[in-house]
Amino acid sequence: KQEVTQIPAALSVPEGENLVLNCSFTDSAIYNLQWFRQDPGKGLTSLLLIQSSQREQTSGRLNASLDKSSGRSTLYIAASQPGDSATYLCAVGGATNKLIFGTGTLLAVQP
Amino acid sequence: DVKVTQSSRYLVKRTGEKVFLECVQDMDHENMFWYRQDPGLGLRLIYFSYDVKMKEKGDIPEGYSVSREKKERFSLILESASTNQTSMYLCASRHHVRRGANYGYTFGSGTRLTVV
């Protein structure tokens, strides 16, 4: 059974820092991995989608990498801003057509 | 801008009521999903549908049913609401997996349901 873990569970950084969020999964037979952002009381906003054949994806200040063989993905946020404060979720998709979510990392960027 | 729209942001219902949560997508997606999200438990899949009139149980289907009469609309039904169904409900959709193409999920803004 696929399990997805995110470390750390919470992170507080000063504005301007570069930071890395980690996601690990137990079954490497995935089709893709998706990173989401969730603001308090709101739905999920898709940030980046990485296909199993890809190593990384970039969007603005965000860069996500995927190492399928080791069961790891990282989300790199450059020059963090207070507006980046949110919960970040990773999720893996596989043959079952289901999305398995990690537990999330709560990020606080201090002005 | 493509969208998944959930009809209500907040709902308060009484125990025993029949509750309908509606979700509409405008992206012509084949697959639609209902999740619930609870503190400490994360997101858990309730039901999903891969086509009109088709449905599959997720990980926690007990106490719920679904309806997909049209491609764009996926309804979650709480047959007899109970207090343990108080939660945030999230709808999502995506294109069906095709050869060489795996699509991402688009989520709605969520419905916060409170059962009293």
Q: Tell me: the pLDDT tens digits for B20-46?
A: 999 999 988 999 999 999 988 889 999
Query: What pLDDT was estimated at residue A18?
Result: 97
> Which chain B residue has the Cα nearest residue A46?
B106
Query: What pLDDT was estimated at residue B101?
Result: 62
Nearest CA to B81 among B17, B30, B33, B21? B17
Rounded to the nearest 5°, which phi and psi values hold at B2? -70, 150
Report chain A residues whose CB lies below 8 A from the CB of B112. Answer: 41
Helices and strands counted in chain A (H then E): 0, 11
Residue in A34, A102, A103 closest to B104 by CB: A34
Report chain A residues whose CB lies below 8 A from the CB of B96. Answer: 97
CB B44 within 8 A of CB B33: no
Q: How confident is the model at residue A66 (pLDDT cuts 50, 70, 90)?
A: very high
B90–A51 CB contact, under 8 Å:
no
First vs last C-alpha separation in chain B: 36
CB B49 within 8 A of CB B8: no
Q: Best of B35, B47, B105, B113 to disrupt the A interface by mutation (most A CBs within 10 Å)?
A: B105
Rounded to the nearest 5°, which phi and psi values hold at B44? -125, 135
Q: What is the pLDDT of residues A23-51, one digit of tens each?
A: 999 999 998 999 999 999 899 999 999 99
